[in-house]
Amino acid sequence: MTELTNPRRKTPLIELRLWRQFVTLSEELHFGRAAQQLNMTQPPLTQAIAQLEAVLGLRLFDRTKRSVQLTAAGVALVPAARDLLARAQALPAYAKAAASGEVGQLRLAFVSTVGFSLLPQWVRTFRERFPLAALELIEATGDVQLQLLARGEVDAGLMLHSPGFAPPGLERMLIASEPLVLAVPEHHPLAGVSPIPLVKVLVEPLVIFPRRIVPSLHDAIFGMYHAAGRLPQLAQEAIQMQTIVNLVSAGLGIAWVPSSVRQFQRPGVVYKEVATGKSAAKVPGCETSLVWTAGSAHAVRDRFVTFISETA
């Protein structure tokens, strides 16, 4: 046998065949029976064990004419050698699982609104089906997700946007569509009105996310005000939906939020639908999409995309 060596270090690498012969002899403790188990003759087995001991620089077996016994070093090596052989045997199946996306890691960015409803169940089910596929979850706003995708620091993202919006350079799969509803302070006069006429909403101070976070949805909301001949009265900007709702609870103003945010039951806030009547202005909806870099290859991501398409 030719010894395998790593050019960067002097320690030789030992072929699996030698470890298999070592384990078989450790079980049989008889060169003749071990050779028979290995479908070989006894002299080559004797030479192989001697070579293994020479490479390791220690004796693994004590031999006499009547018996073969493991040394203390041999006894210690048996479990590790068995584990090595078992893992080597499992490698082909592992490789196939990796190629099919059942093994590996997916770095998934998500907006907070997905965490209110869809994401927890998806993560739980995906991990149950594919326990060897690790999900790294990264909460990030839409603008940050685009930067992470561009730098290759995440593999996919769950992004909020206005209906039909398609980020350039990204593949997109629609996950959910939902209307915008109004978050209103609990003791505000409009809190007891159902539905609230849009004309009464347009004059209220507005808490909203900065445009850079979700430009398409920000523009859709401002477009609704402009269609009604009004300019939004901005009270405060905040990045996270939870923060926006908390600011509404504090009485700073009203806020347009995706309907799924209703599940964030913050004391001091009620969620109301808005009626536009005959107004030219219409309350926009919003969509959530799974996005990823166009043309990129990633087996676990593709597996996740298939899973979400079947689930959503």
Do 158 and 303 sit in the same domain of this protein?
Answer: yes
Do 65 and 120 sit in the same domain of this protein?
Answer: no
Do 183 and 280 sit in the same domain of this protein?
Answer: yes
Look at residue 297 and tell me whether its pLDDT is greater than 90.
Answer: no
Expressed in angstroms, the distance from the first to the final Cα of the chain is 56
Q: What band does 1 get if pLDDT is binned at 50, 70 and 90?
A: very low
Do 121 and 214 sit in the same domain of this protein?
Answer: no
What is the mean predicted confidence (pLDDT) over 294-300? 86
Do 11 and 87 sit in the same domain of this protein?
Answer: yes
pLDDT of residue 179: 94
pLDDT of residue 4: 39
Do 261 and 166 sit in the same domain of this protein?
Answer: no
Contacts of 191 by beta carbon, 8 Å cutoff, 6+ apart:
184, 185, 270, 272
Look at residue 11 and tell me whether its pLDDT is greater than 90.
Answer: no
Is the pLDDT higher at 21 or at 116? 21
* pLDDT tens-digit series, residues 193-226: 989 999 999 999 999 999 999 999 999 999 999 9
* pLDDT tens-digit series, residues 59-90: 999 998 889 999 999 999 999 999 998 888 87
Is the pLDDT higher at 265 or at 38? 38
**Tally of domains in the chain:** 3
**Alpha-carbon torsion (45, 47, 49, 55), positive or negative:** negative
Neighbours of 184 (CB within 10 A): 24
End-of-domain residue from the set 52, 81, 97: 97
pLDDT of residue 7: 46
pLDDT of residue 296: 82
Cis-peptide, bond into residue 195, ω within 30° of zero: yes
Residue 111 belongs to domain spanning: 104-174+288-311
Neighbours of 244 (CB within 10 A): 26
Do 305 and 158 sit in the same domain of this protein?
Answer: yes
pLDDT of residue 232: 94
Q: What band does 8 get if pLDDT is binned at 50, 70 and 90?
A: low
What is the domain-level CATH number for residue 141?
Answer: 3.40.190.10
pLDDT of residue 276: 86
Neighbours of 62 (CB within 10 A): 12
What is the mean predicted confidence (pLDDT) over 30-48? 93
pLDDT of residue 5: 42
Look at residue 291 and tell me whether its pLDDT is greater than 50.
Answer: yes
Give the HSE-up count for residue 221: Cα atoms under 13 Å, Cβ half-sphere: 26
What is the mean predicted confidence (pLDDT) over 3-26? 73
In the chain, the amino acid numbered 191 is A
Do 303 and 154 sit in the same domain of this protein?
Answer: yes
pTM over 0.85: no
Asked if 239 and 140 touch (Cβ cutoff 8 Å), the reply is no
Do 182 and 276 sit in the same domain of this protein?
Answer: yes
* pLDDT tens-digit series, residues 106-137: 999 999 888 877 888 999 999 999 998 889 99
What integer best gives the mean pLDDT of the chain? 89
Do 144 and 293 sit in the same domain of this protein?
Answer: yes
Asked if 260 and 208 touch (Cβ cutoff 8 Å), the reply is no
Do 120 and 260 sit in the same domain of this protein?
Answer: no
Cα–Cα distance for residue pair 177/282, rounded to 1 Å: 16
What is the mean predicted confidence (pLDDT) over 146-156? 95
What is the domain-level CATH number for residue 88?
Answer: 1.10.10.10
End-of-domain residue from the set 68, 97, 126: 97
